[in-house]
């Protein structure tokens, strides 16, 4: 079974492994915001909502309040609720089958969850550095 190694890149997804739902939530949170901003909200977020079912059932105003520092907090809260409901209650093959997930979520899923990192060609700076680090490590 694939276990992504800890890198000097320090991606949040490394710390959230092996929880696929949390890894994908991190991808959604990173949309149009910085890691520094996400670091300010995710500990409380995951303390109150430790899994998809709890977030799907969240009070949208409470969830939006936690997400306020990221901006677009009402949209983010509704997106996370819908995503979490679909995550638990639908059949999906890749994250982009789920609400609010796109190419970046698919790439992170391949790198951190399936181990198919060799197939990932990403434009995201941090993920690109992580994949390059994996390649260098493999060739060392």
Catalytic residue among 19, 53, 97, 124: 124
**81: its two tokens:** 């609720």
CA distances from 99 to 18, 46, 62, 76, 138 (A): 21, 19, 20, 11, 34
Q: What backbone phi and psi angles, to 5 degrees, belong to 101?
A: -110, 140
Report the C-alpha dihedral over residues 78, 104, 107, 121, rounded to 10 degrees. 170
Residue 25, both tokens: 């939530």
Alpha carbon separation from 1 to 6, 72, 103, 114 (Å, rounded):
16, 37, 24, 9
3-state secondary structure of 73: helix
Asked about 124 being catalytic, the answer comes back as: yes
Catalytic sites, residue numbers: 124
């Amino acid at each position: 079974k694939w276990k992504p190694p800890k890198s000097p890149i320090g991606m949040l997804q490394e710390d959230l492994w092996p929880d696929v739902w949390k890894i994908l939530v991190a991808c959604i949170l990173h949309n149009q915001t910085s890691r520094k901003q996400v670091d300010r909200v995710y500990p409380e977020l995951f303390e109150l909502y430790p899994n998809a079912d709890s977030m799907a059932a969240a009070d949208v105003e409470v969830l939006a309040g936690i997400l306020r520092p990221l901006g677009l907090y009402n949209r983010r809260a509704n997106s996370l609720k819908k995503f979490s409901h679909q995550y638990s209650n639908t059949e999906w093959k890749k994250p982009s089958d789920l609400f609010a997930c796109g190419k970046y979520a698919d790439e992170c899923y391949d790198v951190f969850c399936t181990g198919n990192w060799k197939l990932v060609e990403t434009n995201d700076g941090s993920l690109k550095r992580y994949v390059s680090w994996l390649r260098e490590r493999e060739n060392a």
